[in-house]
A and B are shown apart, each in its own frame.
Chain A
Amino acid sequence: MEPLVRLQAIACALPQINIDTDQVLPARFMKEPRVLPAGYATYLFHDLRRAPDGSMRAEFPLNEVKNLGAGIIATRRNFGSGSSREAAVYALVDAGIRCVLAPSHGDIFAANAVNNGLLPARVADEEMEVLLDLLAPGGVRMDLDLEACKVTVGACSFTFTVDAVWRIRLLNGWDEIDMTRRYAGDIAAWCRRDHEVRPWAQLPEGQGHPARSPAGLA
């Protein structure tokens, strides 16, 4: 995972509440394989960005020429609520977004984001309103400093919050699985103990039906 320490990028304002992951990535694209480098970028906000005939909606902020190449999104509360689809994060990351600033994010979205090097940074409601006003003209550049938990637009700085564990992971680009490997001994010891304490927690062979569907009837 690529570390994120500092970032200078265009910040695009999406002044809506409750942008759920169905808006970030509509369900019908989820069966597509993610082939990098383009990945899921073209599906990002698909039905918000595009009219039913496929043409780009000029009024959607990310479609404005000034916001081309944006690396940060600033939005209102509850971004990424709803479905656990990590594909929503893939769409953002594949489109070059490294940070979503919002007063709140869906819990599963935020965890998925960190697992893909995308920063879910929280900015208080009132400050977000000021920030959205500053970004309204479009094409506004923002400096992001994850060590200081600070974003700067022109002369204005705003502090954001992010979970301390996540901040360290993002700063270092650590994959969780690499950390977990160091706990293999703890896991094995825990399993042995758990067998005694919760024997009922094992999953036996079920009674009545085979473990798989008949071949060819998947």
Chain B
Amino acid sequence: MNDRDAATMSRRTQGHATPRSLFEKLWDSHLIASREDGASLVWVDRHYLQEGAFHAFQKMRAKGETVARPDLTVAIADHYVPTRGRSLPIAKVGPHGELARMMDQLDANTREYGIRHYGMNHPWQGICHVVGPELGMTLPGTLVVEGDSHTSTHGALGAWAFGVGASEVAHVLMTQSLWQKPPKRLRVLVGGRLAHGVTAKDLALTVVARLGADGATGHIIEYAGTAVRALSMEGRMTLCNMSIECGARSGMIAPDATTLDYVRGRPFAPRGGDFDRAADDWLALASDADASFDREVHLDAADVVPTVTWGTTPEDALPVTATVPDPERIVDATKANHARDALDYMGLTPGMRIRDIAIDRVFIGSCTNARIEDLRSAAVVLAGRRAQVPGLVSPGSTLVKTQAEQEGLDRIFIAAGLEWGGSGCSMCVGMNGDILEPGQRCASTTNRNFKGRQGRGSRTHLMSPAMAAAAAVAGHLVDVRDLDRGAA
């Protein structure tokens, strides 16, 4: 045994005779101190900032403090960046004036404290949750936070990643640490293998529907099982991304060969011998065989089919082959009221076929589904076809955009009649002005179908990129597998 192996072994076994889960190993490796009352101080390895961080900078200044570790802090403009006309200077007045102000604010704050910043026209700009992993900044075994609830995405690499509010952002800026209490551990085991035409998004929506919108509140989720192992890194990120939609602040998947292949060679990842040494540590993070969980949920991948949402919370998800629920037939009064209210807002008739829901727009983008694999799967459906409705495709990062253009995907989208935009959060949250008209209905690859999420009065149906592309072609929600068979 050489020195490196000995060091690895001692790190693995040191004082841990009892079996531990992936999460417990991440917890132990970040624990700075514990208080008697149960709160623990943990170290933050990566702190991403977006334009909304201005509140946190303000809080930090009010305390007379400065940024503790600018070297571990990375700012990326995504929430307010325009998706159109970025090669020109953004007018400081007019409709884009406020966007310019938000981006300038992030630029000024990061400049003042020496924080790296990828602004609108930087080649590494994009949605933080796409860029962090793609640059190799987010690594297995790291603790990642951002003032954004979809930070759970990074857990796909075997990181402990969660969204925080402005006060916690300020706390991390000032100390590079956070107070946490051990959450409960939920393992979602997905056996079997997803069928052809069924994606990680369908699995994610199925999990959320099964657990409920608050089914995993107070928990972290570890996804495991053969179907999860078989997912690409892109698919794993989609799955972990949606963890927050069933209430879990973090979702995570143990690092394996797929993870290592993804991380190797990325701009900020360790190289050569450093990578090998890190890889040993990362592979050792997997939950021990007899690790315990507070809860376990089992799913069979064979039961997962193309899934869409019909209501106003992500738990309102059903197979595309189903019919819209009838509130009169729901026994639980609160649930019936919710369904009534949701159907009214969504402008749907109880009992109608989901496949008969006509759409006005399509959006393919967001931290959930705008990585290269997502764009490819939408392009496969759209190739040689025309969209019946207008739509926007916003790649997850500028690097994804470049790669998609090299592969000719942009030409497929444009030929189908869709718009090919720049990278950012865009119509997932509408902060940059990419919104629907009141009452408009959108087939969207995003993560939230909340009332008003895509603009006041907007109606959002969540689905996979392939399903959104199929809906664009059909002009209504449709089973992408039928389109493949030419039956739409």
Seen from chain A, the residues whose Cβ lies within 8 Å of a Cβ on chain B are 16-18, 20, 22-23, 26-28, 30-31, 34, 47, 52, 76-78, 81-87, 89, 104-108, 111-112, 115-116, 163-165, 168, 176-177, 179-180, 183, 186-187, 190-191, 194, 197-204, 206-209, 211-214, 216-218
Task: Tell me whether B147 is interfacial, beta carbon within 8 Å.
Answer: yes
Q: Would you call B39 and A187 a contact (CB within 8 A)? A: no
8 Å CB contacts to A: which residues of B39-84? Answer: 39, 41, 43, 45-46, 52, 55, 63, 65, 71-72, 74, 77, 80
Known: A22-B453, A176-B171, A218-B120. A81 touches B334 (CB 8 A): no
Known: A177-B170, A197-B11. A163 touches B181 (CB 8 A): yes
B439 to chain A, nearest CB (A): 10
Task: Find the A residue at minimum CB distance from B246.
Answer: A81
8 Å CB contacts to A: which residues of B144-166? Answer: 147-149, 162-166
Provide the B333-361 mask, 1 if CB < 8 A to any CB of A, else 0. Answer: 01101100100000000000000000000
Docked complex Cα distance between A194 and B31 (Å): 11
A131 to chain B, nearest CB (A): 14
B90 to chain A, nearest CB (A): 9
Known: A84-B147, A177-B170. A31 touches B102 (CB 8 A): yes
Number of A-B pairs, beta carbon distance below 8 Å: 224
By a CB distance below 8 angstroms, the chain B residues around A165 are 35, 37-39, 179, 181
Task: Tell me whether B27 is interfacial, beta carbon within 8 Å.
Answer: no
Task: Tell me whether B444 is interfacial, beta carbon within 8 Å.
Answer: no
A146 to chain B, nearest CB (A): 16
Docked complex Cα distance between A107 and B102 (Å): 27
Q: Would you call B32 and A183 a contact (CB within 8 A)? A: yes
Most chain B CB within a 10 A radius of its CB, from A28, A186, A190, A200: A200
Among candidates A20, A77, A209, residue contacting B122 with C-beta atoms closer than 8 Å:
A209
Q: Would you call A200 and B278 a contact (CB within 8 A)? A: yes
Q: Would you call A86 and B166 a contact (CB within 8 A)? A: yes
Q: Would you call B55 and A106 a contact (CB within 8 A)? A: no
Known: A17-B334, A28-B430, A112-B165. A52 touches B217 (CB 8 A): no
Docked complex Cα distance between A183 and B178 (Å): 11
Task: Tell me whether B226 is interfacial, beta carbon within 8 Å.
Answer: no
